[in-house]
Amino acid sequence: MKPDKPLDVAPLLERLLAGDRTAIAEALNLVDDQRSAQRESALELLDGLAIHKEAQRAHVVGFTGAPGAGKSSLLNALVETLREHSLRIGIIAVDPSSQRSGGALLGDRMRLSASAREAGIFLRSMAARDRLGGLADATRASTAVLSAGFDWVFIETVGIGQSECEVAQLVDTLVFVAQPGAGDTLQFMKAGILELPDIFVVNKSDTGAEAERTRSELGGALQLAEAQAAAGWTPPLLSASARDRVGIDEIQTQIEAHRQHSRESGEFARRREAGQLAFATESLSRRYGEWGLAQIGGAGTLSGRLEQAGERSAFGVVLDLGREIENALRGK
C-alpha cells in the first residue's frame, strides 16, 4: 500500500481554488481518509481553504425525508432549473450501509438525468457506514470542499429522526420532502423535530386528493408547532410534482428567500458557528473518545477554544487539539 505520509497540501489547495474538478475529487478522497497522516493533511487543507472567502460562497441546502418520498427526482428537477441560470452545483448523497457487511449500494437513489450529467453537475455519494451519530463530520468536511468549487451544494439524506438533527446542523437551509399518504408526517411529528426544516414540500401533487390531505395534515401540525419556530421565518408549506415538473420554481424561490432572510437576520452565521462546534466535538470525540477530550479540558471547553482561535478555522483548531491530545497521550 502507498504509505500514510503527510502531504504538501499547497498544490492541491491551489488547484482547488482554481476550480479543478479532479482536485475536488482528490480532496474529497483525502478528507474521507481515516489514516493519521492523511487526516492531518486533510484538516490542513480544509483550514487553508477556510481563509479564502471565495471558497465559501456556496449556499448549503439539505434535502431530507422518508425513503420513496421522491427527494432525488425533486432535487433532479430543481438542479435542472438552477442550471438554466448557469449556476454551478455540487451534490452529496448519503446512502445507508449494510450493517452486516459494511458495504453499500450508492447513487442508486440520486440518479442524475442525462442533461444534468452533461451540464457537469458534481455528484459524490457517501455511505453512512457505522458512524452512528457521526456522519456529520465527514459530510461537513466534504461540504467544505465542494463549497470551494460550486455556487450551490446539496446534501441529500434519507431517514426520519436522528439524521434530521444531524443534517440540520450541517446546512444553511433544510428542505423536508413529504410524500402523500405514507404516514410519515405523523412519524415526523412524533419524532418531535417539526421545528427543524425551513421549507416543507409535499411531493407527488399529481396524486390529487391524497397529496392535498397530507398537505393539510402537515399544515395543521405546523400551526401547532409555530410557537417554537425560529423568529422571523415561517416555514412555507409547498406542493410540487417532480414527475410533472410542477412547483419546482417555487421551491427555488423559497430557498432563495430563506437564504436572504437567514443572512440578514444573522441566522446564517449562528448556524455556521453551531455547525463548527458540532464538527469539532464529533470529530475529536470520534477519534479520541471522552477520555481523549478530557485531556484538553472536556467537550465543554471547545466553544471557548473556537472563539479564541481568531483566524484559525474550526478545522485548524481540531488539528491543533488533536495534536495536543496525542502529545498528552505520549506523555503518559
Partner 1 sequence: MSSPAVPDRPWLIRTYSGHSSAAASNTLYRSNLARGQTGLSVAFDLPTQTGYDSDHPLARGEVGKVGVPVCHIGDMDTLFDQIPLDRMNTSMTINATAAWLLALYVAAAQRQGAGTHELQGTTQNDIVKEYLSRGTYVFPPEASIRLTSDIVAYTVNEIPKWNPINICSYHLQEAGATPVQEIAFAMANAVTVLDTVQNRDDVSPDALPRVFGRISFFLNAGIRFVEETCKCRAMNQLWEEIGRDRYGITDAKMLRFRYGVQVNSLGLSEAQPENNIVRIALESLGVTLSKEARTRSLQLPAWNEALGLPRPWDQQLALRTQQILAFETDLLEYPDIFKGSHVIEGRTAELVEEAREELNKVLDMGGAVSAVENAYMKQALVESHTRRIRAIEDGGQTVVGVNRFEESVDSPLIEDSDKAILKVDDDAEREQVERLNAFRNQRNPKEVESALANLEDAVKNGQNILPPSIQAAGAGVTTGEWSDTLRQIFGEYRAPTGVGAAHTAPSSENIEGVRKRVDEVSLELGRRLKILVGKPGLDGHSNGAEQIAVKARDVGMEVVYDGIRLTPDEIIQSARDEGVHVIGLSILSGSHTVLVKEVLEGLQKQGLKDLPVIVGGIIPEDDAATLRQAGVKRIYTPKDFDLTQIMNELVDVVRAENT
Does residue 5 touch partner 1 according to CB under 8 A? no
How many residues belong to the site for partner 1 (CB under 8 A)?
A: 40
CA gap 67, 46 in Å, rounded: 32
Does residue 114 touch partner 1 according to CB under 8 A? yes
Does residue 100 touch partner 1 according to CB under 8 A? yes
Residue type, 239: S
Cell representation of residue 25: 475529487
Does residue 283 touch partner 1 according to CB under 8 A? no
Does residue 209 touch partner 1 according to CB under 8 A? no
CA gap 155, 114 in Å, rounded: 20
CA gap 299, 284 in Å, rounded: 9
Does residue 4 touch partner 1 according to CB under 8 A? yes
Q: Which among 186, 177, 133, 131 is positioned nearest to 154, based on CA atoms?
A: 177
Cell representation of residue 293: 477530550
Residue type, 297: G
Chain positions 66 to 85 lying near partner 1, rule: CB under 8 A, are 68
Q: Which of 6, 10, 11, 34 lies at the binding interface for partner 1 (CB under 8 A)?
A: 34
Q: Would you say 321 and 306 are in contact if contact means Cβ atoms under 8 Å apart? A: no
Q: Which of 10, 18, 25, 269 lies at the binding interface for partner 1 (CB under 8 A)?
A: 25
Q: Would you say 172 and 266 are in contact if contact means Cβ atoms under 8 Å apart? A: no
Question: Between 134 and 163, how does the x/- string for binding to partner 1 read (CB under 8 A)?
Answer: ------------------------------
Cell representation of residue 1: 500500500
Does residue 119 touch partner 1 according to CB under 8 A? no
* Site residues for partner 1 per CB under 8 A: 1-2, 4, 21-22, 24-26, 28-29, 32-35, 38, 68, 97-98, 100-109, 111-114, 117, 120, 122-125, 127, 129
